[in-house]
A = this chain, B = another copy of it.
Amino acid sequence: MARWEPDARGRLLRTAVDLFAEQGYEATTTAQIAQRAGLTRTTLFRLFPDKREILFQGQDDLITVGVDAVHRTPADAPAIAAAAAAVAAIADAHVADRAGSRRITGLIAASPELRERAAFKRSSITEALQAALRERTGSHRLAGLLTDVAVRSYYDGFDVWISTDDDRSFSAVVLDELADGEAALRRLAGELTGPVPGRGARSRA
């Protein structure tokens, strides 16, 4: 089956999504996925530790793409531009098309195990971008804030992108979400007129 091995990862993804949709994620075995994809189980396990990871393939590549985008943003550009470049680059590197993304999103929503894995993916992306932005800005808190705003725009943008059929690319939708997120940030900052009401006793703002 060596002639089939090119794009084995992509074929396993499409086959796994088909089988999960047909008979459920829990009921589908790696043997069934490998067989329908025309691959051996050995090949499958060489590429993925289990059936779940077939759906989350490419996570490390996305993280690398995002971190590289932070590093490539000119040093004199504002930090938000580096965060924007990161999530736009991640969106551009996203492999599945809109219809495929809808199907995968539906599968994840239906499985607690997959929802948990998806949350971990988001936290992994967040941690990596935060580290890169901290290195760039020298501020742990500013990096955290920038990362949260950008990553939320990425995920909200994903939801918008798969629920519409307009002509904008995924990354364009993400950047539009980010512009709206910045507007919310300006609005909130304008409402912050004093210390947080509460019990915090220390002042180091």
Contact = CB atoms under 8 A, between A and B. Distances in A.
A179 interface: yes
Contact of A176 (B185, B186, B204): B204
B141 A184 contact: yes
B152 A148 contact: yes
A141 B60 CA distance: 28
Contacts of A204: 176, 179-180
A74 to B, nearest CB: 10
- Chain A interface: which size bin? 35 or more
Contacts of A176: 200-202, 204
Interface string A109-140: 00000011101101100000000000000011
B191 A179 contact: no
Nearest to A123: B119
Contact of A141 (B168, B175, B180, B189): B180
A187 interface: yes
Interface string A165-176: 000110110111
Nearest to A121: B119
Interface of A: 77-81, 84-85, 88, 115-117, 119-120, 122-123, 139-142, 144-146, 148-149, 152, 156, 168-169, 171-172, 174-176, 178-193, 195-205
10 contacts: A84-B198, A85-B198, A141-B156, A141-B184, A144-B152, A172-B200, A176-B204, A182-B196, A188-B189, A189-B190
